Amino acid sequence: MELESPLLRGTESPAEPVPVTPPTTVSPAVNIPIAIPAQPYASEPIVELGTIEIPAIGLVHRIYQGVTLNNIDRGPSHWTGTALPGQPGNAVFAGHRVTRSRPFRNIDALVPGNEVIFTVRGVRSIYRVTGNQVVTPKDLWIGDQTPGYHATLYACHPPGSAQYRFVVHLEMI
């Protein structure tokens, strides 16, 4: 499973990753992120899940289900097998910063306390930013499931390069 190939390819520029400690995971039987296919446009159904709103950066966008560019090119896309917003675990979403509609263009401007609102199947879940970090594309632990109600947003970093990932950590309020 490599995030670099299908989840977020692009031409974005370098920044040093911050050393990180992976979160403690819950039982793998709860939610298991699917393996990401080597082919960025592997066959995958287009499924709209709902919306994401991030008032601090003026974002209101549809969200999709899937790990290929078939969905990520349409908007922020949920990593299949991770928790859905409002469910226990870690709901993980990838989005573009410089291509398509650029929904995550300014996620690096988010600071602790900013709200992220998901509406999925008519249910609204509000999360708060708890922090952010820069990781490498091989840091697949960002999709690991965690105790409690969390979410993770990520995109290539810096804009114009796929060398790193900018990750925003959220906790449901």
Q: Domain extents for the chain?
A: 48-172
**pLDDT value of position 160:** 85
- Mapped onto helix, strand or coil, the DSSP state of residue 109 is helix
Q: Specify whether the CB–CB gap between 70 and 59 falls below 8 A.
A: no
**pLDDT value of position 148:** 96
Q: Kindly tell me if the per-residue pLDDT of 8 is higher than 90.
A: no
CATH 2.40.260.10 describes domain 48-172? yes
Q: Specify whether the CB–CB gap between 14 and 158 falls below 8 A.
A: yes
**pLDDT value of position 36:** 81
Q: Kindly tell me if the per-residue pLDDT of 24 is higher than 80.
A: no
| Average pLDDT estimate for 7-27 | 41
Half-sphere exposure for 138 (CA within 13 Å, toward CB): 1
Best CA proximity match to 14, nearest among 134, 111, 99: 134
- Mapped onto helix, strand or coil, the DSSP state of residue 107 is helix
**pLDDT value of position 30:** 61
Please report which residue ranges of 33-130 form alpha helices under DSSP H: 69-72
Q: DSSP letter at 21? A: -
**pLDDT value of position 23:** 41
Q: Kindly tell me if the per-residue pLDDT of 147 is higher than 50.
A: yes
Place of tokens 């398509």: 100
Q: Specify whether the CB–CB gap between 99 and 74 falls below 8 A.
A: no
Best CA proximity match to 104, nearest among 12, 15, 37, 29: 12
Q: Kindly tell me if the per-residue pLDDT of 79 is higher than 90.
A: yes
Residue 99 pLDDT grade (very low, low, confident, very high; cuts 50, 70, 90): confident
Q: Kindly tell me if the per-residue pLDDT of 105 is higher than 50.
A: yes
Q: Kindly tell me if the per-residue pLDDT of 4 is higher than 50.
A: no
Residue 103 pLDDT grade (very low, low, confident, very high; cuts 50, 70, 90): very high
